[in-house]
Protein backbone atom coordinates (compact mmCIF):
# COMPACT_ATOMS: atom_id res chain seq x y z
CA UNK A 1 0.00 0.00 0.00
CA UNK A 2 2.83 2.40 0.84
CA UNK A 3 4.38 1.85 -2.60
CA UNK A 4 0.99 2.37 -4.25
CA UNK A 5 0.52 5.73 -2.52
CA UNK A 6 4.06 7.07 -2.93
CA UNK A 7 5.81 5.40 -5.86
CA UNK A 8 6.05 7.47 -9.07
CA UNK A 9 8.34 5.18 -11.04
CA UNK A 10 5.43 4.28 -13.35
CA UNK A 11 4.88 7.91 -14.41
CA UNK A 12 7.88 8.76 -16.69
CA UNK A 13 7.15 5.95 -19.21
CA UNK A 14 3.68 7.48 -19.76
CA UNK A 15 4.97 10.92 -20.65
CA UNK A 16 4.88 12.41 -24.12
CA UNK A 17 5.22 15.90 -25.54
CA UNK A 18 1.51 16.40 -26.13
CA UNK A 19 0.48 14.97 -22.76
CA UNK A 20 2.90 17.31 -21.07
CA UNK A 21 1.19 20.27 -22.77
CA UNK A 22 -2.22 18.98 -21.67
CA UNK A 23 -1.26 18.46 -18.04
CA UNK A 24 0.63 21.76 -17.86
CA UNK A 25 -2.63 23.41 -18.96
CA UNK A 26 -4.53 21.61 -16.20
CA UNK A 27 -1.93 22.47 -13.58
CA UNK A 28 -2.06 26.18 -14.51
CA UNK A 29 -5.63 26.15 -13.16
CA UNK A 30 -4.23 25.76 -9.65
CA UNK A 31 -1.72 28.61 -9.69
CA UNK A 32 -2.18 32.19 -8.50
CA UNK A 33 -1.88 33.61 -12.02
CA UNK A 34 -5.06 31.80 -13.01
CA UNK A 35 -7.04 33.13 -10.04
CA UNK A 36 -5.73 36.62 -10.75
CA UNK A 37 -7.53 36.41 -14.10
CA UNK A 38 -10.47 34.13 -13.35
CA UNK A 39 -11.91 35.75 -10.21
CA UNK A 40 -12.12 39.31 -11.58
CA UNK A 41 -13.49 38.17 -14.96
CA UNK A 42 -16.11 36.06 -13.19
CA UNK A 43 -16.99 38.98 -10.89
CA UNK A 44 -17.53 41.27 -13.88
CA UNK A 45 -19.34 38.82 -16.12
CA UNK A 46 -21.10 36.19 -14.02
CA UNK A 47 -22.22 37.87 -10.83
CA UNK A 48 -20.63 39.78 -7.98
CA UNK A 49 -22.28 37.76 -5.21
CA UNK A 50 -21.36 34.36 -6.67
CA UNK A 51 -17.74 35.29 -7.27
CA UNK A 52 -17.40 36.97 -3.90
CA UNK A 53 -18.41 33.68 -2.31
CA UNK A 54 -15.92 31.94 -4.58
CA UNK A 55 -13.14 34.40 -3.70
CA UNK A 56 -13.69 33.78 0.01
CA UNK A 57 -13.62 30.03 -0.62
CA UNK A 58 -10.33 30.35 -2.52
CA UNK A 59 -8.85 32.29 0.40
CA UNK A 60 -10.02 29.72 2.95
CA UNK A 61 -8.58 26.85 0.91
CA UNK A 62 -5.30 28.69 0.46
CA UNK A 63 -4.92 29.35 4.18
CA UNK A 64 -5.97 25.87 5.29
CA UNK A 65 -3.75 24.13 2.74
CA UNK A 66 -0.71 26.22 3.65
CA UNK A 67 -1.31 25.48 7.33
CA UNK A 68 -1.70 21.74 6.78
CA UNK A 69 1.41 21.53 4.61
CA UNK A 70 3.48 23.11 7.38
CA UNK A 71 1.78 20.93 9.98
CA UNK A 72 2.48 17.58 8.28
CA UNK A 73 5.75 18.62 6.59
CA UNK A 74 5.46 15.73 4.18
CA UNK A 75 8.26 15.77 1.55
CA UNK A 76 7.43 15.84 -2.13
CA UNK A 77 8.47 13.01 -4.47
CA UNK A 78 12.17 12.84 -5.45
CA UNK A 79 13.27 15.79 -7.57
CA UNK A 80 14.18 13.60 -10.53
CA UNK A 81 10.47 13.04 -11.22
CA UNK A 82 9.58 16.76 -11.24
CA UNK A 83 8.63 18.60 -14.42
CA UNK A 84 7.17 21.62 -12.60
CA UNK A 85 9.87 23.92 -11.15
CA UNK A 86 7.38 26.30 -9.51
CA UNK A 87 6.77 24.33 -6.31
CA UNK A 88 9.84 25.71 -4.55
CA UNK A 89 10.58 24.19 -1.17
CA UNK A 90 6.95 23.69 -0.10
CA UNK A 91 5.75 20.39 1.31
CA UNK A 92 3.63 17.82 -0.46
CA UNK A 93 0.66 16.78 1.66
CA UNK A 94 -2.06 17.75 1.04
CA UNK A 95 -1.92 18.84 -2.59
CA UNK A 96 -3.03 22.45 -2.85
CA UNK A 97 -3.90 22.03 -6.52
CA UNK A 98 -6.16 19.06 -5.79
CA UNK A 99 -7.80 20.77 -2.83
CA UNK A 100 -8.51 24.06 -4.59
CA UNK A 101 -9.64 22.41 -7.83
CA UNK A 102 -12.06 20.12 -5.98
CA UNK A 103 -13.44 22.84 -3.72
CA UNK A 104 -13.67 25.65 -6.27
CA UNK A 105 -15.04 23.86 -9.31
CA UNK A 106 -17.50 21.68 -7.41
CA UNK A 107 -18.66 24.73 -5.49
CA UNK A 108 -19.24 26.56 -8.76
CA UNK A 109 -21.21 23.57 -10.04
CA UNK A 110 -23.27 23.65 -6.84
CA UNK A 111 -23.99 27.34 -7.42
CA UNK A 112 -24.88 26.88 -11.11
CA UNK A 113 -26.94 23.71 -10.49
CA UNK A 114 -26.72 22.36 -14.03
CA UNK A 115 -25.63 18.91 -15.18
CA UNK A 116 -23.05 20.30 -17.60
CA UNK A 117 -21.50 22.33 -14.77
CA UNK A 118 -21.04 19.21 -12.64
CA UNK A 119 -19.49 17.37 -15.59
CA UNK A 120 -17.04 20.21 -16.28
CA UNK A 121 -16.19 20.53 -12.59
CA UNK A 122 -15.41 16.84 -12.18
CA UNK A 123 -13.25 16.74 -15.32
CA UNK A 124 -11.26 19.80 -14.24
CA UNK A 125 -10.83 18.62 -10.64
CA UNK A 126 -9.61 15.18 -11.73
CA UNK A 127 -7.46 16.68 -14.49
CA UNK A 128 -5.74 19.09 -12.12
CA UNK A 129 -5.10 16.33 -9.58
CA UNK A 130 -3.76 13.97 -12.24
CA UNK A 131 -1.52 16.72 -13.62
CA UNK A 132 0.35 16.97 -10.33
CA UNK A 133 1.17 13.25 -10.43
CA UNK A 134 2.08 13.39 -14.12
CA UNK A 135 4.39 16.35 -13.51
CA UNK A 136 6.02 14.44 -10.65
CA UNK A 137 5.46 16.96 -7.85
CA UNK A 138 2.87 15.01 -5.85
CA UNK A 139 2.20 11.36 -5.12
CA UNK A 140 -1.21 9.70 -4.95
CA UNK A 141 -1.49 10.20 -1.19
CA UNK A 142 -1.06 13.97 -1.63
CA UNK A 143 -3.76 14.08 -4.31
CA UNK A 144 -6.28 11.93 -2.43
CA UNK A 145 -5.73 14.04 0.68
CA UNK A 146 -6.28 17.23 -1.30
CA UNK A 147 -9.48 15.91 -2.89
CA UNK A 148 -10.95 14.79 0.44
CA UNK A 149 -10.06 18.10 2.08
CA UNK A 150 -11.59 19.94 -0.86
CA UNK A 151 -14.85 18.05 -0.38
CA UNK A 152 -14.75 18.72 3.37
CA UNK A 153 -14.15 22.41 2.68
CA UNK A 154 -17.31 22.59 0.57
CA UNK A 155 -19.38 21.04 3.37
CA UNK A 156 -18.00 23.48 5.96
CA UNK A 157 -18.27 26.46 3.63
CA UNK A 158 -21.90 25.73 2.84
CA UNK A 159 -22.58 26.19 6.54
CA UNK A 160 -20.58 29.43 6.65
CA UNK A 161 -22.67 31.07 3.91
CA UNK A 162 -26.00 29.74 5.19
CA UNK A 163 -28.52 31.39 7.51
CA UNK A 164 -26.93 29.49 10.39
CA UNK A 165 -24.40 32.37 10.56
CA UNK A 166 -26.95 35.13 10.00
CA UNK A 167 -25.66 37.11 13.04
CA UNK A 168 -22.28 37.36 11.27
CA UNK A 169 -23.87 38.41 7.99
CA UNK A 170 -25.86 41.12 9.80
CA UNK A 171 -22.78 42.73 11.36
CA UNK A 172 -21.58 46.11 10.06
CA UNK A 173 -19.18 45.92 7.13
CA UNK A 174 -16.28 47.36 9.11
CA UNK A 175 -16.71 44.72 11.81
CA UNK A 176 -16.81 41.93 9.24
CA UNK A 177 -13.63 43.20 7.54
CA UNK A 178 -11.91 43.54 10.91
CA UNK A 179 -12.94 39.99 11.76
CA UNK A 180 -11.26 38.71 8.60
CA UNK A 181 -8.12 40.76 9.31
CA UNK A 182 -8.04 39.27 12.82
CA UNK A 183 -7.29 35.90 11.23
CA UNK A 184 -3.71 37.02 10.63
CA UNK A 185 -2.54 37.36 14.26
CA UNK A 186 -4.47 34.22 15.21
CA UNK A 187 -2.72 32.23 12.49
CA UNK A 188 0.65 33.63 13.52
CA UNK A 189 0.02 32.41 17.07
CA UNK A 190 -0.99 28.86 16.11
CA UNK A 191 1.29 28.32 13.11
CA UNK A 192 3.18 25.01 13.45
CA UNK A 193 6.52 26.38 12.18
CA UNK A 194 8.55 29.35 13.38
CA UNK A 195 8.42 31.05 9.98
CA UNK A 196 4.94 31.84 8.67
CA UNK A 197 4.79 31.79 4.85
CA UNK A 198 4.42 35.17 3.14
CA UNK A 199 1.27 33.88 1.47
CA UNK A 200 -0.65 33.92 4.76
CA UNK A 201 -0.91 37.70 5.32
CA UNK A 202 -1.39 38.08 1.58
CA UNK A 203 -4.43 35.81 1.56
CA UNK A 204 -5.91 37.49 4.64
CA UNK A 205 -5.45 40.89 2.98
CA UNK A 206 -7.04 39.56 -0.20
CA UNK A 207 -10.11 38.23 1.61
CA UNK A 208 -10.65 41.31 3.79
CA UNK A 209 -10.21 43.77 0.92
CA UNK A 210 -12.37 41.80 -1.52
CA UNK A 211 -15.13 41.55 1.09
CA UNK A 212 -14.91 45.28 1.79
CA UNK A 213 -14.65 46.19 -1.89
CA UNK A 214 -17.66 44.18 -3.03
CA UNK A 215 -19.79 45.82 -0.36
CA UNK A 216 -18.66 49.27 -1.49
CA UNK A 217 -19.42 48.31 -5.10
CA UNK A 218 -22.87 47.08 -4.13
CA UNK A 219 -23.75 50.29 -2.28
CA UNK A 220 -22.04 52.96 -4.40
CA UNK A 221 -21.04 51.67 -7.83
CA UNK A 222 -23.98 49.34 -8.53
CA UNK A 223 -22.30 47.73 -11.50
CA UNK A 224 -24.21 45.42 -13.83
CA UNK A 225 -22.71 43.65 -16.81
CA UNK A 226 -23.33 45.19 -20.21
CA UNK A 227 -26.26 43.39 -21.85
CA UNK A 228 -24.27 42.70 -25.02
CA UNK A 229 -21.68 39.94 -24.60
CA UNK A 230 -19.68 41.36 -27.52
CA UNK A 231 -19.06 44.40 -25.32
CA UNK A 232 -18.87 42.74 -21.91
CA UNK A 233 -16.45 39.91 -22.69
CA UNK A 234 -13.70 41.92 -24.48
CA UNK A 235 -13.97 44.59 -21.77
CA UNK A 236 -13.50 42.02 -19.02
CA UNK A 237 -10.63 40.21 -20.75
CA UNK A 238 -8.78 43.45 -21.56
CA UNK A 239 -9.24 44.70 -17.98
CA UNK A 240 -7.99 41.41 -16.56
CA UNK A 241 -4.89 41.71 -18.76
CA UNK A 242 -4.28 45.21 -17.40
CA UNK A 243 -4.72 43.91 -13.85
CA UNK A 244 -2.31 41.04 -14.53
CA UNK A 245 0.33 43.46 -15.84
CA UNK A 246 -0.09 45.98 -13.01
CA UNK A 247 0.03 43.21 -10.40
CA UNK A 248 3.41 42.13 -11.74
CA UNK A 249 4.71 45.71 -12.02
CA UNK A 250 3.74 46.50 -8.44
CA UNK A 251 5.48 43.33 -7.28
CA UNK A 252 8.63 44.23 -9.21
CA UNK A 253 8.71 47.75 -7.78
CA UNK A 254 8.21 46.55 -4.22
CA UNK A 255 10.96 43.98 -4.69
CA UNK A 256 13.31 46.69 -5.98
CA UNK A 257 12.57 48.69 -2.82
CA UNK A 258 13.49 45.63 -0.71
CA UNK A 259 10.02 45.49 0.83
CA UNK A 260 9.57 42.24 2.82
CA UNK A 261 7.83 39.60 0.72
CA UNK A 262 4.90 39.24 3.14
CA UNK A 263 4.17 42.98 3.00
CA UNK A 264 4.69 43.13 -0.76
CA UNK A 265 2.32 40.26 -1.41
CA UNK A 266 -0.32 41.78 0.87
CA UNK A 267 -0.06 45.08 -1.04
CA UNK A 268 -0.40 43.28 -4.36
CA UNK A 269 -3.48 41.37 -3.20
CA UNK A 270 -5.08 44.52 -1.77
CA UNK A 271 -4.58 46.21 -5.14
CA UNK A 272 -6.00 43.20 -7.01
CA UNK A 273 -9.12 43.06 -4.82
CA UNK A 274 -9.88 46.78 -5.04
CA UNK A 275 -9.23 46.82 -8.79
CA UNK A 276 -11.59 43.90 -9.34
CA UNK A 277 -14.40 44.91 -7.01
CA UNK A 278 -14.43 48.73 -7.10
CA UNK A 279 -12.09 50.42 -9.58
CA UNK A 280 -12.83 48.44 -12.74
CA UNK A 281 -16.64 48.35 -12.23
CA UNK A 282 -16.60 52.12 -11.64
CA UNK A 283 -14.61 52.69 -14.83
CA UNK A 284 -16.94 50.38 -16.75
CA UNK A 285 -19.88 52.52 -15.59
CA UNK A 286 -18.07 55.75 -16.44
CA UNK A 287 -17.19 54.58 -19.96
CA UNK A 288 -20.67 53.10 -20.52
CA UNK A 289 -19.24 49.61 -20.73
CA UNK A 290 -21.78 48.41 -18.17
CA UNK A 291 -25.57 48.15 -18.22
CA UNK A 292 -27.06 51.63 -18.56
CA UNK A 293 -29.04 52.89 -15.57
| 169 among known catalytic residues | no
Residue 8 is classified by DSSP as -
Whole-number Å distance between alpha carbons of 118 and 105: 8
Count of Cβ atoms closer than 10 Å to residue 194 Cβ:
5
Whole-number Å distance between alpha carbons of 277 and 273: 6
| 97 among known catalytic residues | yes
Cβ-based neighbours of 284, under 8 Å, separated by 6 or more: 44, 223, 226, 235, 239, 290
Whole-number Å distance between alpha carbons of 291 and 34: 27
Q: Are 280 and 243 in contact (CB under 8 A)?
A: yes
129 exposed, middle or buried (CB, 10 Å; 0-12, 13-18, 19+)? buried
Whole-number Å distance between alpha carbons of 66 and 91: 9
Q: Are 278 and 221 in contact (CB under 8 A)?
A: yes
Beta-bridge partner residues of 290: 225
Active centre residues (catalytic): 97, 138
Amino acid sequence: MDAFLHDLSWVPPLRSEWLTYVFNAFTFLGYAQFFLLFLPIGFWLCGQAMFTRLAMLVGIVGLSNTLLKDLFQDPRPPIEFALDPRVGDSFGFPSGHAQIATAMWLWLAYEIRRGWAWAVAIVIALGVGASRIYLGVHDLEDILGGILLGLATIVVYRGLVSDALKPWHDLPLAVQAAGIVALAPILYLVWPRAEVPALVPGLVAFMATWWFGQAIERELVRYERHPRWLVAVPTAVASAAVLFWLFGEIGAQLKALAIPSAVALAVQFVFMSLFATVAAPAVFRLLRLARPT
